[in-house]
């Protein structure tokens, strides 16, 4: 048995699993978790997921079951400075996520997102990108 896969997970995928109840996002997460894969995210992801889920009335116990499986990276001044200087076009939160993911390394994680702009920027930075959300009624996967 090889090393576990390492995933840098963006808020967009976890929110689809928890808030939008995407079956494919949940199945991907459950399968990766059962294999013992490692989920990594910036602390910003926890804030985004907690705030959105609280605002729509999702039970925080359920949210915690997902978030408890993550290794969270700090968002310090160095990460913020790197986000400011990031070359590919990306929004503020996306740039912070990408700067944090770069700390882990583009060759060390697969970046998981359902955000087209983030997927494009991540690919530009050398990440392998995965979008497990194939059941979004608004659009298909971005990768």
State the pLDDT at residue 135.
74
Is 89 a residue whose pLDDT tops 90? no
- For 6-48, how does the pLDDT look when each residue is reduced to its tens digit (9 = 90+)? 999 999 999 999 988 889 999 999 999 999 999 999 999 999 9
100: nearest Cα among 48, 36, 50:
48
Strands 38-42 vs 6-9: parallel, antiparallel or unpaired: parallel
Q: Which domains does the chain have, with CATH numbers?
A: 6-130 (3.40.50.1010)
Q: How far apart are CA 97 and CA 137, in angstroms?
A: 25
Give the mean model confidence (pLDDT) for residues 100-112. 95
What is the Cα gyration radius of the chain? 14
Residue 143: what pLDDT? Answer: 55
């Amino acid at each position: 048995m090889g090393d576990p896969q390492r995933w840098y997970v963006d808020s967009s995928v976890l929110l689809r699993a928890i808030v939008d109840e995407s079956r494919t996002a949940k199945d991907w997460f459950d399968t990766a978790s059962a294999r013992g894969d490692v989920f990594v995210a910036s602390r910003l992801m926890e804030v985004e997921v907690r705030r959105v889920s609280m605002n729509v009335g999702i039970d925080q116990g359920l949210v915690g079951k997902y978030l408890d499986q993550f290794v969270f990276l700090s968002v310090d001044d160095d990460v913020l400075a790197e986000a400011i200087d990031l070359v590919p076009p990306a929004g503020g939160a996306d740039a912070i996520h990408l700067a944090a993911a770069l700390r882990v390394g583009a060759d060390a994680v697969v970046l998981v997102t359902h955000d087209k702009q983030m997927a494009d920027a991540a690919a530009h930075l050398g990440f392998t990108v995965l979008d497990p959300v194939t059941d979004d009624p608004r659009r298909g996967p971005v990768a």
